[in-house]
C-alpha cells in the first residue's frame, strides 16, 4: 500500500502532544519517534503506538564506542520497533557489534529484531558543509555511498540517505537493502532546513523504500488534506 511507504515524525515535545497528533492522523500507519520525544517520554510513546497497531521507526541515531552502542541497540531491540538507526560514522567495529546486538536483544525479549539502518549523511548537511566544516575530502554523494557500503558489509539492513543519493545507493547496495529518505518535500511545501530534497514521487521513482515526511503534513493548516495529497501523488507513480 502506498501509505505504508510514508513515515510521519512525531516531532513534538511530550506524550500528550504525540497522542493528539496520532489521533489527528488516524490514516498514518508508520510513525517516527526521535530524540526529543523519546528523551521526554521514554518508551511510553512506543507502548501507545503499539497498542494502536502502528509501525515504529525509533530514530535515536546511536553514535558512541562499540560497547556502548551495542548495549543501547540490545536494549532498543527489546521494544519491538520496526526500524532503528545508528550513525555509519561510528565505524565498522561499532556497526558489526550493533548488528549482532539487535539480534540478541530481540531474542531475549521474544520479539522480532528491528531493521538496523545506518545514517549516511544528515540531510541538513550540504556539500560545502562536508568539505569546509567537517573537512571530509570526498564529494558528498561518494561519501554517502561509502557509508552505505560500510553499513551493508557490517551486516546492517539499510541506510538513511538523501533522496538525491538513492539511485546510486540502490544500484550499488542491491534491491534488498532498505533505503529510508528524509528530506522529502512535495512541490507545494517549503524546504525548510532540508538542503538535498526531492518530491515524494521523485524519491520513490529513484528507488526509496520509505519516505520520512514531517512538516509538510504535521505543520499544514489541514494535515489530513496534506497527507491525502501526498498519497495521491504516490499513487500516480508507475
Which are the catalytic amino acids? 61
Q: Where do runs of H (alpha helix) occur along the chain?
A: 15-24, 35-41, 44-51, 66-77, 92-109, 127-128, 140-153, 166-173, 200-206, 215-218, 223-235
CB of 74 closer than 8 Å to CB of 47: no
CB of 159 closer than 8 Å to CB of 208: no
% helix / strand / coil in the chain, to the nearest 5? 50, 15, 35
Q: How many residues does the chain have?
A: 238
Separation of alpha carbons 179 and 59, rounded Å: 14
Listed in sequence order, the residues at least 6 apart from 132 whose beta carbon sits closer than 8 Å to its beta carbon are: none
**In degrees, to the nearest 5, what angle opens at C-alpha 207 toward C-alphas 202 and 208?**
80
Separation of alpha carbons 126 and 128, rounded Å: 5
CB atoms within 10 A of CB 198: 22
Amino acid at each position: 500500500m502506498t501509505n505504508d511507504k510514508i513515515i510521519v515524525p512525531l516531532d513534538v515535545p511530550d506524550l500528550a502532544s504525540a497522542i493528539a497528533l496520532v489521533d489527528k492522523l488516524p490514516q498514518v500507519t508508520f510513525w517516527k519517534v526521535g530524540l526529543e520525544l523519546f528523551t521526554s517520554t521514554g518508551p511510553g510513546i512506543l507502548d501507545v503506538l503499539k497498542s494502536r497497531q502502528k509501525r515504529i521507526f525509533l530514530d535515536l541515531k546511536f553514535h558512541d564506542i562499540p560497547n556502548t552502542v551495542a548495549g543501547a541497540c540490545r536494549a532498543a531491540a527489546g521494544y519491538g520497533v520496526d526500524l532503528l538507526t545508528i550513525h555509519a560514522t561510528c565505524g565498522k567495529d561499532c556497526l558489526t557489534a550493533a548488528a549482532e546486538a539487535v539480534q540478541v536483544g530481540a531474542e531475549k525479549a521474544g520479539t522480532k529484531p528491528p531493521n538496523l539502518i545506518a545514517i549516511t549523511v544528515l540531510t541538513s548537511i550540504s556539500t560545502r558543509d562536508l568539505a569546509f566544516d567537517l573537512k571530509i575530502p570526498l564529494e558528498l554523494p561518494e561519501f554517502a555511498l561509502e557509508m552505505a557500503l560500510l553499513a551493508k558489509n557490517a551486516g546492517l539492513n539499510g541506510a538513511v540517505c538523501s533522496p538525491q543519493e538513492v539511485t546510486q545507493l540502490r544500484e550499488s547496495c542491491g534491491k534488498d537493502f532498505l533505503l529510508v529518505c528524509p528530506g522529502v518535500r512535495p512541490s507545494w511545501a517549503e524546504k525548510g532546513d532540508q538542503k538535498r530534497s526531492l518530491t515524494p514521487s521523485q524519491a520513490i521513482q529513484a528507488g526509496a523504500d520509505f519516505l520520512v515526511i514531517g512538516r509538510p503534513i504535521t505543520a499544514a493548516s489541514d494535515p489530513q488534506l496534506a497527507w491525502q495529497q501526498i498519497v495521491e501523488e504516490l499513487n500516480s507513480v508507475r
